[in-house]
Amino acid sequence: MSLGNPTKGMLAAAVLAASALFAAPASAEIKNLEIIAPANAGGGYDQHARAMQQVLQDHKLASSVQVVNIPGAGGTIGLSQFVTAKKRNPGLMISGLGMIGAILINKSPVSLDQVTPLARLTGEYQPIVVAADSPLKTLDDLVKKFKADPGSVSWGGFAVGSPDHILYGLLVKAIGGDVSKMNYIAAGAGGEMMASVLGGHITVATGGYNEMASQLQAGKLRALAISSPQRLPGIDVPTFKEQGVDVELVNWRAVMAPGNLKASEKQVLDDAVGAMVRTDEWKRIAEERGWIDLYLPPDQFAAFVKDERTRIEGVLTELGLVK
């Protein structure tokens, strides 16, 4: 990542330039920025990376912004490459609630201790959906089917320990079911998961509302419930709570910077992201995609991540996903 107009000498000494590249004034445009989306195209991490790419470039906060998808293991493969990259500037990485669980469950050799929490960006409530031709018409139908034969319900989600998995576990516990009998299938994200539920390969699917909004509006999917505390404006989907099931979950998404940044380096990135989230364009994209504004700057976000890791470890342990 370079700022301003680097000299030929800086370019020649690129391998040693990490600190110098951040030394430009905080108002300088960030150049040659890479944003890692640690998942396949179409999912929440990818959507956030590409929204950042668009807004940062449109508002001249950064230029030559590239999004790189590195899927696998709930985002921990992307995290590992982000942490261990040495010969090139790794730029930024999208993260979120799901990565915390994936690190614990996959016993990842790298952790969020090795990155710099830069900003919490948004949150998203999750519907659970079935194919339009599914015999399951309501949440109650799904509950009855699971109670009658737990193995007959396949629960499709992004990865083991992801917010999708956590949501299903909370649902099963709330209805008095046995979490150990859940047939959870890591079906990927975005289009990959939608193809699985539409093709009848999984019973139910979940994810961010925007990931399946077009299929819902086209009548190809049917939403049985959504994890918000009350109905969302413009979204005609009943909550779990209004159907007598005490479940609520928000999937937050964030952006991380490389570890061991100098204060001046972090300030450059903080200024850019802070300016980005204040733009009308970012706010419009968030509204269109059903993202809730949960922005936190670096220091507040770092404290939040610390508390969240403790909370999620407790939830996953209770659900039997971490021992």
CA–chain centroid gap for 114, Å, is 19
- Structure token pair of residue 146: 């699971």
Is pTM beyond 0.85 here? no
What string of pLDDT tens digits covers the 323 residues of the chain? 434 443 334 333 333 333 433 433 344 579 999 999 999 898 889 999 999 999 999 999 999 999 999 999 889 999 999 999 875 565 999 999 999 999 999 899 999 999 999 999 999 999 999 999 999 999 999 999 999 999 999 999 987 788 999 999 999 999 999 988 999 999 877 778 889 999 999 999 998 888 888 999 999 999 999 999 999 888 999 999 999 999 999 899 999 999 988 898 899 999 999 999 999 999 999 998 889 999 999 999 999 999 999 988 988 988 888 88
CA-to-CA distance for 29 and 93, rounded, in angstroms? 19
Q: Classify burial at 236, counting beta carbons within 10 Å of its beta carbon; exposed 0-12, middle 13-18, buried 19 or more.
A: exposed
CA-to-CA distance for 153 and 81, rounded, in angstroms? 35
Q: Classify burial at 307, counting beta carbons within 10 Å of its beta carbon; exposed 0-12, middle 13-18, buried 19 or more.
A: exposed
Amino acid letter at 12?
Answer: A
Amino acid letter at 151?
Answer: G
Exposure on the CB side of residue 112, measured as CA atoms within 13 A: 28
Phi, psi of 220 (to 5 degrees): -90, -25
